[in-house]
Amino acid sequence: MLRMKSNIRENNSVLVLTEITNHPEISRTKISEITGLNKATVSEIVRKLIEDDYVIEIGSGNSTKSGGRRPILLTVNKKAGVSISFDVRYDRISYLITYLDGEKIDYEIKETDINKDNIVTHITTVVDAFRSTMKKSPFGIIGVTISVHGVVNKNMIEFTPYFDLDQLNLIEELKERIDLPIHIENEANLSALAEAAFDTEHQNIISFSAHTGVGAGIILDSQLYRGYNGRSGEVGHTVLYPDGLNCPCGNHGCLEQYCSTKAIVRNFQQLRNNKSLNFDDLLEAYRQNDVDTQNLIQKFSKDLGIGLMNIIGNYDPEIVYINAEILEEIPELLGLLQHSLSSTIYKSVPIRQSKLGHKASLYGATVHNLKEFLNVDNVGFDLDMEKVLEV
């Protein structure tokens, strides 16, 4: 079902396909101008890409001011294949199925405990169910990418602080059940890939995630920076308070023990001396102007601002996107974070709330699937954000 990609490995073909992937309506002439390849070379490569179902013609564009023939526009053959993405947390699993241009086919979140004994079944159930009903296409399912909240290196899970997936060779277990390309990547890294795919203006981006843990995905010169062992951006395990709270990483006082969703709920429970309280209870108390809860949120904002300054200082980005449930529910926190940077040398760095929210890592996993399958360096999405955000 999956067509091999060896026929597009040649450098010029990759250049052409990259431009078509990142520009949903582009002519052969424009590709020639951007890449520096002569028109005959571009035409021959495009002919082969069309023949192999990677690209289709979509009609005529506008003629130039000097007149002449109207150019034929090209785009990726979006329905030639399907991408499947998963985001795995200790208390839920979500998936996104898309066409090659990122257009959604199916999306679902399931609240449930996830561990090494059930994760394979959860993933294979979704893949098998979709396979049984999917329409025939030239490439079928091009790949499955799994977002994990933990340290991932070379397709292996090395550390998951809040569940036991690091005790499982997930790739090998899945390969016994699914005959498809399978990839695993850190959640923050994938979120950064998603932000870059939707942001055509910036080439140096930080995606700062605060969920069950805290991490950052780093895009430098339009490329994901992972570090030597995949630990770049593990800002959640940098020390905020020496000799502070114990962290599963073995250290004390780590940022994510104070600035994750899990941490803020724990602190709220301690404040009220009630372990049954949850995130919604915290939000309700804040909205009811409970002074102690508001002070808790102010402290959270201050600590998170320190974490932001540290990561900005290390990588000097053009822009920072923040992805956090608490920011979605209390958007005024963004102003507090910006204020915490206003008197520092980092005051000119724009801080933005991610519009992708809990779908960021899923779209990033889609980008990863496409990059691996098409053998291109970058993937851009030209999607209506309102449709992207539809639940």
Q: Is CATH 3.30.420.40 correct for 201-355? A: yes
* CB within 8 Å of 94: residues ≥ 6 apart: 86, 87, 107, 108, 109, 110, 358, 362
Beta bridge partners of 75: 56
Can you give the pLDDT at residue 391?
A: 55
pLDDT at 282: 97
* Residues in a beta bridge with 208: 216, 322
Superfamily of domain 79-192+359-388: ATPase, nucleotide binding domain (3.30.420.40)
d(CA 184, CA 116): 15
Matching residue, tokens 């397709």: 155
Per-chain mean pLDDT for the chain: 91
Q: Are 186 and 230 in contact (CB under 8 A)?
A: yes
User: Is residue 147's pLDDT more than 60?
Assistant: yes
Residue boundaries of the structural domains of the chain: 6-76, 79-192+359-388, 201-355
The pLDDT assigned to 2 comes to 37
The pLDDT-based confidence of 8 (bands split at 50, 70, 90) is low
Tokens of 84: 């499947």
CA 375 to CA 41: how far, in whole Å?
19
Cα–Cα distance, 158 to 167 (Å, whole number):
8
pLDDT (mean) for 343-360 = 92
Residue 47's alpha-carbon distances to 17, 40, 206, 373, in angstroms, are 12, 11, 38, 19
Q: State pLDDT tens for residues 198-237.
A: 998 999 999 999 988 899 999 999 999 999 988 899 999 9
Query: Minimal CA–CA distance to 365: which of 55, 94, 79?
Result: 94
In this predicted structure, which of 1-15, 187-201, 257-271, 317-331 has the lowest mean pLDDT? 1-15
pLDDT of residue 388: 75
Q: Which residues pair with 239 in a beta bridge?
A: 254
- Amino acid identity at 48: K
State the pLDDT at residue 377.
84
pLDDT tens per residue across span 167-202: 999 999 999 999 999 999 999 999 999 999 999 899
Mean pLDDT (whole number) for 364-371: 96
- pLDDT score, position 349: 94
User: What are the DSSP E strand ranges found in 276-364?
Assistant: 319-324, 351-353
pLDDT at 158 over 80: yes
- Strands (E) located in the chain: 26-27, 55-60, 72-76, 81-89, 92-99, 104-111, 140-148, 151-153, 156-159, 182-186, 205-210, 214-220, 223-225, 319-324, 351-353
Residue 347: exposure state from Cβ atoms within 10 A (0-12, 13-18, ≥19): exposed
Architecture of the 6-76 domain: Orthogonal Bundle (1.10)
DSSP class per residue in 236-256 = GGSBSSTT-SB-TTS-BSBTH
Q: 0.85 exceeded by the pTM?
A: yes
Residue in this structure with the two tokens 């062992």, named with its chain if needed: 229
Secondary structure (3-state) at 154:
coil
CA atoms within 13 Å, Cβ hemisphere of 329: 16
Count of CB atoms situated within 10 Å of the CB of 14 = 16
The reply to whether 201-355 shares the fold of 6-76 is no
Give the model's pLDDT for residue 11. Answer: 82
Q: Residue 376: its pLDDT value, please?
A: 87
Instruction: Over range 271-290, report the average pLDDT.
Output: 96
Tokens of 153: 């290196």
- Cα 327 to chain centroid, rounded: 18
Give the Cα separation of 347 and 351 in Å (integer): 9
Instruction: Output b/e per residue, 134-170; b: 16+ Cβ within 10 A.
Output: eeebebbbbbbbbbbbbbbbeeebebbbbbebbebeb
DSSP character string of 196-228: HHH-SS-SSEEEEEESSSEEEEEEETTEEE--S
**pLDDT for the residue numbered 22:** 87
> Is residue 317's pLDDT more than 90?
yes
Section 275-285 average pLDDT:
96
Contact, 230 vs 154, CB < 8 A? Answer: yes
